[in-house]
Amino acid sequence: MKTEQQYFEESISMKDYMNEMSQLKEQSFMIYDSFVLPGDTDFIEKVKNANLHILAITEDWCGDAMINNPIIRKVAEAANIDIRTALRDADTDLIDRYLTNGGRAIPMYLILNESGEVITTWGPRAPQLQQLVMDMRATLPEKEDPTFEDAQKDLYENMRKQYVENSQLWSYVYEDFKKKVNTVL
């Protein structure tokens, strides 16, 4: 069984991953190009000095990855640490170690120390985004309803639109990621 560090070593950089995306690429780059890290030099310095690296378990069709990857990438770049990507569906052994409520929810970020040990994880979304998703899903008709499929498609489209246009959501991602990482620094 491969270690998380071996997955990291075999993975491509987040930069290369985003450049090669076939889905949600434009939206991901809209967030990446627009998101400005808060003037939070203490956090960035702590991350940098801890000699961390990050492995993101992701897929380019995922709306949560579309918002989270650009923000976490900005943190990694500011701290001058390596962030790489492993595709969830290419080898489910890795994601199966980090299930969310029994499911293979992504993205999942594994924060590794300089020895390659996972010291914490973050993902798949900030609590405020989870609440937004739950509130939106509560408006869907029952799955048996003939309009369910179209309603769900519209919901995901609306969610992605909010993820791109509402910069407050980006702040939630950053702040929750920061809070989680700070617990181990």
Backbone angles phi, psi at 100, to 5 degrees: -115, 115
CA 41, CA 181: separation in Å to the nearest integer?
Answer: 14
For the chain, counts of helices (H) and of strands (E): 9, 5
Domain count along the chain:
1
CA 78, CA 150: separation in Å to the nearest integer?
Answer: 41
Which residue numbers in the chain have pLDDT < 70?
A: none
Checking DSSP bridges between strand 118-122 and strand 53-58, what pairing results, if any? unpaired
Q: How far is CA 25 from CA 62, 73, 75, 85, in A?
A: 11, 14, 19, 15
- On whether the CB atoms of residues 47 and 81 are closer than 8 A, the answer is yes
CATH number at 32 reads 3.40.30.10
Render pLDDT for 13-28 as a digit per residue (tens, 0 to 9). 999 999 999 999 999 9
Tell me if residue 6 falls in helix, strand or coil. helix
Beta bridge partners of 54: 83, 111
Range of the domain at 66: 4-182
In this prediction, residue 76 carries a pLDDT of 98
In this prediction, residue 40 carries a pLDDT of 82
Asked if the peptide bond before residue 107 counts as cis, ω within 30 degrees of 0, the response is yes
Render pLDDT for 77-102 as a digit per residue (tens, 0 to 9). 999 999 999 999 999 999 999 999 99
CA 91, CA 87: separation in Å to the nearest integer?
Answer: 7
